[in-house]
């Protein structure tokens, strides 16, 4: 069943897009990530123009994080003060990101920067997660790890102006979550990812937040920033394809529900191992893509 996308200006197989949304939705429900890191590259492989793919994937992330955010809000798993600060940083980051995106577009280096960023971030996060899950599953053992566990990261603790975050039980400077939000905001605009798979480990390892509030807080943050980014994309690049986003969402929101059900039936450590492998595979594919001779040497830009 083919359907015409009014903004992308081409027709796509609607069923395929819904299935893609569903698959990514299952993963996002299982792992609590937006899934943008899979949607965007897959849409680009399918032949959707990169700007449209990035902008429309952002819209899907909002939908995918709604139900998760609702559940965590009801359970009190959200540090509202922390989320608020990160959202401020995130919105500011997405504005700066949009300006940087424009600049790179005029020099024609957007694809390379997007590719490099994807490779760096995915390898880093995927590597961390792989090591962590192998450790907890007992395939790897690190003897020296049992030292005195430091609650706060040294850099975060040295920042001035400390605030109290009661839900997280933290007494840290708001500059740290602000900066974290900013980075996530830039990445949301650039890569069409919600940044959940960066936020979650950063909140645990860098800020020292308790696991109880990490997922909920990051979901609220992703919800707000992806909604804000959708607005920024519609105002600046005008590349949000509402039909494409709708198709992705229909599959995505249903998939997210099945993913959440699956989570309760699977061992979380194996889930994390699986996610780490998926992330590393995507990173490998993107890495090779930088060095392989591309299918198209020439590209056309409309003036």
Partner 1 sequence: MIAALAPLLMAADKPELVPDVSARNVEIRYSFTGAQLLLFGAVVYPGGRIPDHPVDIAVVLRGPVQPILVREKQKIAGIWMNADSNRFRSAPSYYAVASSRPILDLIDDRTAAIYELGLHNLQLSPGGGALPEKERRFESGLLDLRRRQNLYSESPHGVEISDGVLYRAVITIPSQVPVGTYTAETFLIDHGKVVAAATRDIQINKSGFERYVALAARRHEGLYGLAAVAMSLFLGWAAAAAFRRRF
CB of 31 to partner 1, least distance (A): 17
Q: Bridge partners of 164?
A: 171
**How deeply is 201 buried, as exposed, middle or buried, from its count of CB atoms within 10 A (0-12, 13-18, 19+)?**
middle
Going 185 to 190 to 196 to 199, the CA torsion angle's sign is negative
Output b/e per residue, 89-128; b: 16+ Cβ within 10 A.
bbbbbbbebbeebeebeeeeebeeebbebbbebbbebbee
Q: Return the number of the residue (140 or 235) whose C-beta is nearest partner 1.
A: 235
User: What whole-number distance in Å separates Cα of residue 220 and Cα of residue 79?
Assistant: 9
User: What whole-number distance in Å separates Cα of residue 129 and Cα of residue 184?
Assistant: 18
Closest C-alpha among 59, 47, 7, 2 to residue 241 = 7
Binding mask 7-26 for partner 1 (x = CB under 8 A): x-xxx---------------
Which residues within the stretch 208-247 sit at the binding site for partner 1 (CB under 8 A)?
227, 230-231, 233-235, 238, 240, 242-243, 245-246
The pair phi, psi for residue 261, each rounded to 5°, is -65, -40
User: What whole-number distance in Å separates Cα of residue 127 and Cα of residue 124?
Assistant: 5
Q: Return the number of the residue (12 or 178) whose C-beta is nearest partner 1.
A: 12
Q: Which of 39, 51, 60, 94 binds partner 1 (CB under 8 A)?
A: 60
Q: Which of 16, 19, 42, 66 binds partner 1 (CB under 8 A)?
A: 66
User: What whole-number distance in Å separates Cα of residue 129 and Cα of residue 87?
Assistant: 25
Q: Return the number of the residue (176 or 221) whose C-beta is nearest partner 1.
A: 221
User: Segment contacting partner 1 (CB under 8 A): 57-65, 79-87, 187-195, 206-214?
Assistant: 57-65
Q: Which of 16, 19, 42, 70 binds partner 1 (CB under 8 A)?
A: 70
CB of 253 to partner 1, least distance (A): 4
Q: Which of 39, 40, 59, 94 binds partner 1 (CB under 8 A)?
A: 59
Cβ atoms of 43 and 24 closer than 8 Å: no
Size of interface with partner 1, in residues (CB under 8 A) = 55
CB of 216 to partner 1, least distance (A): 14
* Residues contributing to the site for partner 1 (CB under 8 A): 2-4, 6-7, 9-11, 59-60, 62-67, 70-71, 108-109, 111-112, 116, 227, 230-231, 233-235, 238, 240, 242-243, 245-246, 249-250, 253-254, 256-257, 261, 290-294, 296-303
């Amino acid at each position: 069943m083919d359907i015409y996308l009014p903004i992308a200006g081409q027709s796509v197989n609607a069923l395929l897009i819904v299935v893609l949304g569903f698959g990514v939705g299952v993963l996002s429900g299982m792992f609590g990530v937006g899934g943008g890191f899979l949607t965007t590259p897959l849409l680009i492989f399918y032949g959707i123009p990169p700007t449209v793919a990035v902008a429309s994937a952002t819209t899907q992330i909002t939908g995918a994080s709604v139900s998760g955010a609702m559940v965590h809000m009801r359970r009190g798993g959200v540090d509202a003060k922390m989320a608020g600060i990160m959202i401020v940083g995130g919105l500011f980051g997405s504005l700066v990101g949009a300006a940087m995106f424009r600049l790179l577009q005029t020099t024609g280096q957007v694809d390379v920067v997007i590719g490099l960023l994807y490779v760096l971030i995915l390898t880093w996060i995927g590597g961390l997660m792989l090591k962590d899950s192998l450790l907890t599953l007992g395939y790897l053992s690190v003897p020296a790890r049992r030292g005195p566990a430091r609650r706060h990261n040294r850099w975060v603790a040295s920042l001035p102006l400390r605030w109290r975050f009661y839900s997280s039980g933290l007494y840290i400077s708001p500059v740290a979550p602000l900066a974290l939000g900013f980075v996530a905001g830039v990445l949301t605009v650039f890569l069409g990812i919600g940044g959940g798979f960066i936020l979650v480990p950063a909140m645990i390892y860098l800020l020292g937040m308790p696991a109880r509030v990490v997922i909920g807080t990051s979901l609220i943050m992703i919800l707000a920033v992806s909604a804000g980014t959708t607005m920024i994309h519609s105002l600046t690049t005008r590349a949000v394809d509402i039909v494409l986003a709708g198709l992705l969402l229909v599959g995505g929101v249903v998939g997210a529900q099945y993913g959440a059900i699956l989570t309760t039936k699977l061992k979380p450590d194996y889930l994390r191992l699986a996610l780490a492998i998926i992330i590393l595979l995507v990173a490998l594919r993107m890495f090779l893509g930088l060095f392989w001779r591309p299918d198209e040497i020439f590209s056309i830009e409309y003036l």
